[in-house]
Amino acid sequence: MMSEDQASNRMWGGRFASGPDAVMEAINASIGFDKKLYAQDIRGSLAHAAMLAKTGIISADDEKNIAHGLNTILSEIETGSFTFSTRLEDIHMNVEARLAELIGPAAGRLHTARSRNDQVALDFRLWVKEELQRVDAALGRLLEAFVARAEEHAASVMPGFTHLQSAQPVTFGHHLMAYVEMFGRDRSRVRDAIERLDESPIGAAALAGTGFPVDRHMTAKALGFREPTRNSIDTVSDRDFALEFLSLSAICAVHLSRLAEEIVIWSTPQFGFVRLSDSFSTGSSIMPQKKNPDAAELIRAKTGRINGDLIALLTVMKGLPLAYSKDMQEDKEAVFDAAETLDLMLAAMTGMIGDLVVNKDAMKRAAGAGFSTATDLADWLVREAGLPFREAHHATGRAVALAEERKCGLEKLPLEDLQAINPSITDGVYSVLSVANSVRSRTSYGGTAPSEVRRQIRAWKKRLKRDASPAKNR
Ligand code: ARG
């Protein structure tokens, strides 16, 4: 007859030789990834123990031993001598079990007036907050790199595109400053997210709060939070802060990806607007002439991972009843993956932007192609000849058709031919048909005129200086 153990072996399959317990352990344990939270876990426990002693919930002696034990564990983990155990499920129980080995029964007093539910909410918030501060600083470096390049190219002309067709000439500085606006918004989302998550969960306990006379304001302050959370049920069931981190990361990654795509296009021999430095490109193993924009391509691709991470956690959270459910343990890997990916993308893009070799001549040549100053001709007819814009648009269309037929630029059409299209055209029109004049004339607020671009750069420099102090709680 088969023993019960053997029966279970057969049911669960060969991989789990020791029966259903091993399967449970494998699905239940999070230590494989949540050991990343060790520093936050120990910091949280130190603050909690200090508060328990201050309020008389545990003795000063016990607190001293607990603190000493926790600090020993911290250095064991940091020097690599700590043994993590899957049987102990997660970082919280791994630390607590080791604490008991080190200091004996007093270790059991640390978990008074708390639960793993508020403990994990605390650890994870602390981690996400620190990551947001890293992203804030990385965005600051990226913005500085952009503003410097934009200043250099405030008057360098390039074609502006819509539908990826030449539309109107713009300056390269103006185009770069478009990304400054985008990454500036990303940075303000980071700061908003920090502001909103800046509340301490510890003391919410399992979900209902605790009967012990805890001081949640004390722990909040000790851990650098603005204040404690206000509703214990919400506190242990909320992962908005993780979702916000993922959604702002996804938006930022999408911005990085659009820029990466432009770099890929600009660096083709067909465009030739920019050349990537050797440090951010690779050669081909078979085609000696090639220089591939790998870093840009990988930035474009890694956006997929981050978008996936966001969808993964949104899907975990949807339909969860209040308060804590074990589903929420699945929050961490998505956030860790997105964080690692975004940090790398931001660093690579900052390096690439700083290194980019810009071919001003190629941009200038392209800026004049494709009748890019046609709108300037139409505007001139409105301004100087008093035509309604629709009529001017029509006349300009005829001029473009003629230039196309002659295979020349608008500025090369003889005056008689232009006058045959509209008799009020004078040779003053040629001044607006050049790319440089077209660009210089767009002085509306936020427009592409070098004077306006420089004004925006000045304003951004001030703003970056003001924002240079790290994002933190106010
Ligand atoms: N490892 C768990 C997590 O990441 C910690 C919280 C466990 N709480 C519980 N009631 N089982 O969510």
DSSP structure string for 361-395 = HHHHHHHHSTTTTHHHHHHHHHHHH---HHHHHHH
Tokens of 411: 């500025």
- Whether the pLDDT of residue 258 is over 70: the answer is yes
Q: Quote the pLDDT of residue 282.
A: 75
Exactly one of 3, 81, 163, 444 is catalytic; name it. Answer: 163
Q: Is the CB of 329 inside a 6 Å radius of any atom of ligand 1?
A: yes
Q: Quote the pLDDT of residue 18.
A: 65
Give the mean model confidence (pLDDT) for residues 103-114: 97
Question: In the predicted model, what is the mean pLDDT of the chain?
Answer: 93
Cα separation, 56 vs 218, in Å, equals 14
Contact between residue 425 and residue 385 where contact means Cβ atoms under 8 Å apart: yes
Count the helix, strand and coil residues of the chain and give each as a percent rounded to the nearest 5: 70, 5, 25
291 bridge partner residues: 283
Q: Is the CB of 30 inside a 6 Å radius of any atom of ligand 1?
A: yes
Helix (H) or strand (E) holding 303: helix 294-317
Give the mean model confidence (pLDDT) for residues 149-162: 96
Cα 8 to averaged position of ligand 1 atoms, centre (Å): 27
Please confirm whether the linkage preceding 205 is cis (ω < 30° from 0): no
Q: Quote the pLDDT of residue 287.
A: 73
Q: Quote the pLDDT of residue 473.
A: 45
- Whether the pLDDT of residue 372 is over 50: the answer is yes
Give the mean model confidence (pLDDT) for residues 194-198: 97
Q: Which of 25, 40, 90 to mutate to test the pocket of ligand 1 (most atoms within 8 A of CB)?
A: 90
Q: Is the CB of 172 inside a 6 Å radius of any atom of ligand 1?
A: no
Q: Which atom of ligand 1 is nearest to the CA of 30?
A: 1
Give me the residue label for tokens 């130190």. Answer: 46
Q: Please report the DSSP string for 159-203 in residue order.
A: EEEETTEEEEEEEHHHHHHHHHHHHHHHHHHHHHHHHHH-EE-TT
Cα 432 to averaged position of ligand 1 atoms, centre (Å): 68
- Whether the pLDDT of residue 10 is over 60: the answer is no
Exactly one of 75, 284, 431, 451 is catalytic; name it. Answer: 284
- Whether the pLDDT of residue 5 is over 50: the answer is no
Tokens of 322: 């209040």
- Whether the pLDDT of residue 7 is over 50: the answer is no
- Whether the pLDDT of residue 122 is over 60: the answer is yes
Helix (H) or strand (E) holding 297: helix 294-317
Q: Quote the pLDDT of residue 139.
A: 98
Q: Is the CB of 120 inside a 6 Å radius of any atom of ligand 1?
A: yes
Question: Does the CA dihedral 91-94-97-101 come out positive or negative?
Answer: negative
How does residue 127 score in pLDDT terms, banded at 50, 70 and 90?
very high
- Whether the pLDDT of residue 2 is over 60: the answer is no
- Whether the pLDDT of residue 1 is over 50: the answer is no
3-state secondary structure of 293: coil
Give me the residue label for tokens 């990361």. Answer: 249
b/e 408-420 (16+ beta carbons within 10 angstroms → b) = ebbbebeeeebee
CA 288 to chain centre: 36
pLDDT, tens digit, 9 for 90 and up, residues 283-304: 777 677 777 889 999 999 999 9
Cα separation, 126 vs 43, in Å, equals 9
Q: Is the CB of 116 inside a 6 Å radius of any atom of ligand 1?
A: yes
Residue among 320, 263, 355, 323 nearest 115 (CA): 323
pLDDT, tens digit, 9 for 90 and up, residues 31-43: 999 999 999 999 9
Judge whether 163 counts as a catalytic residue: yes
Give the mean model confidence (pLDDT) for residues 388-395: 92
Residue among 60, 202, 175, 194 nearest 118 (CA): 202
Indicate the range of 75-84, 158-167, 250-259, 318-327 predicted with least confidence: 158-167
- Whether the pLDDT of residue 17 is over 80: the answer is no
Give the mean model confidence (pLDDT) for residues 76-96: 97
How does residue 373 score in pLDDT terms, banded at 50, 70 and 90?
confident
- Selected residue with higher pLDDT from 397 and 291: 397
Cα 326 to averaged position of ligand 1 atoms, centre (Å): 6
How does residue 19 score in pLDDT terms, banded at 50, 70 and 90?
low
Cα 329 to averaged position of ligand 1 atoms, centre (Å): 6
Cα separation, 462 vs 363, in Å, equals 29
pTM of the predicted structure, to 2 decimals: 0.91
Residue among 406, 416, 410 nearest 396 (CA): 410
How does residue 416 score in pLDDT terms, banded at 50, 70 and 90?
very high
Cα 332 to averaged position of ligand 1 atoms, centre (Å): 11
Instruction: Report the percent of the chain where pLDDT is more than 90.
Output: 82
Q: Is the CB of 375 inside a 6 Å radius of any atom of ligand 1?
A: no
Q: Which atom of ligand 1 is nearest to the CA of 324?
A: 10
- The CB-side HSE value for 260 (13 A sphere, CA atoms) comes to 26
Q: Quote the pLDDT of residue 96.
A: 97
Q: Quote the pLDDT of residue 280.
A: 78
Give the mean model confidence (pLDDT) for residues 312-316: 98
Cα 116 to averaged position of ligand 1 atoms, centre (Å): 6
Judge whether 188 counts as a catalytic residue: no
Q: Quote the pLDDT of residue 346.
A: 98
Q: Whose CA is nearest to atom 10 of ligand 1?
A: 117
Cα 80 to averaged position of ligand 1 atoms, centre (Å): 24
Three-point CA angle 27, 207, 331, nearest 5°: 35
b/e 177-203 (16+ beta carbons within 10 angstroms → b) = bebbebbbebbebbbebbeebbbbbbb
Q: Which atom of ligand 1 is nearest to the CA of 332?
A: 4
Q: Is the CB of 262 inside a 6 Å radius of any atom of ligand 1?
A: no
3-state secondary structure of 353: helix
Give the mean model confidence (pLDDT) for residues 412-418: 92
- The CB-side HSE value for 438 (13 A sphere, CA atoms) comes to 28
